[in-house]
Amino acid sequence: MRKHDIYCGFFWLLLSLFVGGISLLSLGLGTLSYPAPGFYPFLISVMLLCISLILVVRAFMGQGEDPNYYQWPSYGRNVPITLGALLAYALVLEYLGYIISTSLLLVFLFKVTASRNWMVSLLMTAIVIIVSYYFFVVLLQSQLPLGILE
């Protein structure tokens, strides 16, 4: 039995139940033709529930391999760095705007946590920004924060 998998699985299970409950009770689901604001969070919580159940069941059955975290020397530092970067991103998104804040986040994550060179980091960031901006602004016609570019 892998106790870390059990703990993580139960954490994600409880989180999925919480998000699903909030989506269902507070936001509503709507219909397939006219989804309410809680429709997509509810679908994601159902997917997360299924994945966490699979993780818990596999851990109880003793399946899976024990991860050897010592093979990844940067693993221990990447998690708090990534969480800090995401928190900073959430705090500056409205002020700097989508393009600038997302560019800074992606370059930072590609360069620091993924240890890519500058050319690869900048190229991958440009591709993600262009594709996501096209998808959200042009195709879905949603409004992203412009921030200081306004």
Q: In the chain, how long is the greatest CA-to-CA distance?
A: 55
**Which residues are paired to 30 by β-bridges?**
35
Report domain extents, the chain.
Answer: 3-67, 72-149
Question: 136: which residues sit within 8 A by CB, 6+ positions away?
Answer: 142, 144
CB 30 within 8 A of CB 39: yes
Tell me the whole-structure pTM to 2 decimals.
0.57
Per-residue pLDDT tens over the stretch 13-52: 999 999 888 888 888 888 777 777 888 888 899 999 999 9
Confidence grade of residue 101 (pLDDT, cut at 50, 70, 90): very high
Q: Which of 44-53, 110-119, 123-132 has the weakest average pLDDT?
A: 110-119
Please state, in angstroms and rounded to a whole number, the distance separating the CA atoms of residues 70 and 76.
9
